Amino acid sequence: MTELMPAEGVFSLIWVLIALPLAGAAILLFGGRRTNSWGPYLGVLTVAASGVIGVLMLLGMMQNSPEQRTYGQTLFTWVFSGSFQADMAFQLDQLSIIFVLLITIVGTLIHVYSLGYMAHDDNRRKFFGELNLFVAAMLLLVLANNYLLLYVGWEGVGLASYLLISFWQHKPSAAAAGKKAFIINRVGDVGLSLAIMLMFVTFGSVGFQDVFGVADQASEGTLTAIGLLLLLAACGKSAQFPLQSWLLDAMEGPTPVSALIHAATMVTAGVYLIVRSNVIFTAAEWAAVAVIVVGLITMWMGAIIGSAKDDIKKSLAGSTMSQIGYMITAAGLGPIGYVFAIFHLLTHGVFKAGLFLGAGSVMHGMNDNVNMRRYGALRGVMVITAGTFIICYLAIIGIPPFDGFFSKDDIIHASFERSPIIGILAMLAAGLTGFYMTRMVAMTFFGKARWEDDAHPHESPKVMTIPLIILAIGATFLGMALVYWGNIESWLEPVTGVETVELALPSWVYELTTLVLVLIGAAIAWVSYARRDVPVEAPHGSWLTRAAREELYGNQVNDALVVQPTYYTSRLLVWFDNKGVDGFVNGSAAFVGGLSGRLRRYQTGFARSYALSMVGGAVLVVLALVLVRMS
């Protein structure tokens, strides 16, 4: 276990990282209308300032030796009850800093982009306030040094996600999508809270250092249970099978939200949780196998859904599910995969944010139409958007030298080392990625124009295109930088451990095969969607297409397994309540009421008759006494 370094110098500012966006959120959300004019700019500034502090911390961290890069800061004792103690304390290490930089830098770019995208929205201030709230909660999630504080951040990002999905709450579909995301996430959150309780019962603490230090003393059954509960939590937050169905509906939110929360950062919190708890998953083999299975299923589900959706944002959401499936699979592989999961998470955060913001820019020019069958030939009118989108597209399908190539190939290598089946499935899914992403690019930017009559596509303003350009540059160079210059493997080694991948064949064989599969997928999509005309109305399609359009019946399954049984149970309970409980209560009340209706007739108001009944009663009592005495 690495020793905690005291937080000195720039590292004493760990709490400021979180406090800045939190203060921004408080000012914007409680400040009212007087902050309308300058509020959005303040929102951008707080996140940017956190980003600057994050970069300074990275530089400070690089000056220390690898064993001395874990910094702890305790603000105060938060919960103290018997033997249970949880501090408001932070831990900044090599893993946290990657997330801090991803959240704040991509977050800043998306905040800037939102200045343009949300320029005409009446509730701009609320939007930036909630976006700041999200950044603060996400930073708390990755900086917490115990599971209970992590849980606070976990719930905080869930709240921000809910608020932002249903940001346009006047649309019933957006309000419903927010509720759906919140409720399905709740299922995962139950898993996390149970895992925390189990940890406290088993280890007597919920701090990272304490739990990981003594994890190997627990029985394997307990560790497996904790691992599976953590996996359930990760499934909820990261939209993994079987809790995947909320992510596609979450696209009802504004596009910057989809980019920041539902692509780059929040949905990767599940990957963070698993990698952070790597000690537990390394010790609990079956939990790790479950992680791989969930990852593989979701990788394929997402890719299949993404191949059939005509809504550009939902297609991208399917792609996000699929890519997070890659990360989860890698995280399940053990020490060999943790680094690559985080590597892919980082590159994916950059290029997927670029893709979503690009999609937002396209929608901005097309009257917020999301139907790709109504796009086409947009490369001429949106040069910067098309260029950056295509760069990010090359990154996601894994064409060298763009960053997705490095991270995805690493995951495929690691999968092959574990088992050829996992490797082949991951490799084929990469081919499918080539298909659905090429389909998206071909339908949007190439082919013939299928615009609606009132559409006048135009390039977005600079405040939106500059973040796109920066993200595209990131998508081009980040992979190379982290492999040749930064060496992410040795950077993360103290946190996650590293195993070298030893493959049966030389690594270029795998890389070439993957590349060929991707190119085949891309070629099929190109022939089908760029060379041939795309019909404006979606054709009937094969059974697989129809199933994928229905999101592989995830909603129907949830409906049949959860919603309908709940509905009928509550109908039964309502019936029992009305007829049984209410019947008894109402019946006894009616009985007493009817009886008193009869009895009140004896209240005549005639005082002497009352006196007579009293005398009669007294005589009866005396007679009874006499009879008893005589017998």
Partner 1 sequence: MNPSNYVVLSAVLFSIGAIGVLVRRNAIIVFMSVELMLNAANLAFVAFARMNGNLDGQVVAFFVMVVAASEVVVGLAIIVTIFRTRRSASIDEPNLLKY
Q: Which of 34, 170, 601, 629 binds partner 1 (CB under 8 A)?
A: 601
Tell me how many helices (H) and strands (E) the chain has: 27, 3
User: 3-class DSSP state for residue 171?
Assistant: coil
Q: How far is the CB of 611 from partner 1 (least distance, A)?
A: 5
In Å, what is the CA distance from 222 to each residue of 218, 246, 285, 333, 480?
A: 7, 30, 12, 20, 41
**Backbone φ/ψ region at 456: left (φ over 0), alpha (ψ -120 to 50), beta:** beta
Where does this chain touch partner 1 (CB under 8 A) — which range of 425-433, 456-464, 554-562, 602-610? 602-610
State the Cα–Cα distance between residues 623 and 631, nearest whole angstrom. 12
Which element (helix H / strand E) includes 506? none
What is the smallest separation between the CB atom of 599 and partner 1, expressed in angstroms? 9
Nearest distance in Å: CB 625, partner 1: 14
Least separation in angstroms between CB 587 and partner 1: 24
- The 239-268 site mask, x for binding partner 1 (CB under 8 A), equals ------------------------------
- Interface residue with partner 1 among 81, 83, 603, 631 (CB under 8 A) is 603
Contact residue for partner 1 among 607, 627, 628, 630 (CB under 8 A): 607
CA separation for the pair 470, 433 (Å, rounded): 24
Stretch binding partner 1 (CB under 8 A), from 9-17, 224-232, 386-394, 606-614: 606-614
**Distance between CA atoms of residues 355 and 279, nearest Å:** 34
Smallest separation, CB 602 to partner 1 (Å):
8
Cα 205 from Cα 37, distance rounded (Å) = 47
Residue 201 vs 607, nearer CB to partner 1: 607
Tell me which residue of 369, 244, 394 sits closest to 313, measured CA to CA: 369
Amino acid in position 489:
E
600 contacts partner 1 (rule: CB under 8 A): yes
Cβ atoms 177, 249 nearer than 8 A: yes
Q: Comparing C-alpha atoms, which of 253, 148, 234 is closest to residue 187?
A: 234
Which one, 543 or 606, has the nearer CB to partner 1? Answer: 606
C-beta closer to partner 1: residue 505 or 607: 607
Our finding on whether 34 is near partner 1 (CB under 8 A) is no
- DSSP character at residue 218: S
Closest CA to 267 of 281, 283, 287, 246: 246
Q: Quick one: which of 82, 537, 606, 628 contacts partner 1 (CB under 8 A)? A: 606
| Both tokens assigned to 78 | 């938060």
Q: Does 629 bind partner 1 (CB under 8 A)?
A: no
Tokens of 512: 């070439």
Site for partner 1 in 609-628 (CB under 8 A): 611-612, 615
76 or 606: CB nearest partner 1: 606
CA angle 291, 295, 298 (to 5 degrees): 140
Which of these ranges, 36-44, 164-172, 405-413, 607-615, lies near partner 1 under the rule CB under 8 A? Answer: 607-615
User: Cβ of residue 631: shortest distance to partner 1, in angstroms?
Assistant: 22
Cβ closest to partner 1, residue 512 vs residue 625: 625
Q: Between 505 and 599, whose beta carbon lies closer to partner 1?
A: 599
Q: Which of residues 323-382 bind partner 1 (CB under 8 A)?
A: none
Chain centroid, CA 564 distance in Å: 26
Could you tell me the maximum CA-CA distance found in the chain, to the nearest angstrom? 120
Residue (542 or 604) nearer to partner 1, CB: 604
Q: Which is nearer to partner 1, 456 or 598 (CB)?
A: 598
How far apart CA 481 and CA 348 sit, in angstroms, is 15
Instruction: Please report the DSSP string for 476-490 in residue order.
Output: HHHHHIIIIIS-HHH
- Minimum distance, C-beta of residue 579 to partner 1, in the bound complex (Å): 34
**Member of 216, 604, 623, 624 binding partner 1 (CB under 8 A):** 604
Token readout for 349 is: 């955060």
Smallest gap, in angstroms, from Cβ of residue 627 to partner 1? 18
DSSP for 380-405, written as a single string: TT-HHHHHHHHHHHHHHHT-TTSHHH
Task: Note whether 491 and 407 are within 8 A (CB).
Answer: no
Q: Which residue, 170 or 601, is less far from partner 1 as judged by CB?
A: 601
Output 520 or 614, the one with its CB closest to partner 1: 614
Question: In the set 535, 608, 627, 630, which binds partner 1 (CB under 8 A)?
Answer: 608
Q: Is 38 exposed, middle or buried (0-12, 13-18, 19+ CB in 10 A)?
A: middle
* Letter string b/e over residues 153-176, b meaning 16 or more CB atoms within 10 A of that residue's CB: bbbbbbebbbbbbbbbeeeeebbe
- Residue 607 Cβ vs partner 1, minimum distance, rounded to whole Å: 5
DSSP 538: P
Nearer to partner 1, 83 or 596 (CB): 596
Smallest gap from Cβ 596 to partner 1, in A, equals 10
CB of 601 to partner 1, least distance (A): 6
- Work out how close the CB of 595 gets to partner 1 at its nearest, in angstroms, rounded to a whole number: 14
Q: Please tell me the count of residues contacting partner 1 according to CB under 8 A.
A: 11
CB of 614 to partner 1, least distance (A): 9
Q: Closer to partner 1 at the Cβ: 183 or 612? A: 612
User: What are the tokens at 315?
Assistant: 């297609």
Residues forming contacts to partner 1 in the complex (CB under 8 A) are 600-601, 603-608, 611-612, 615
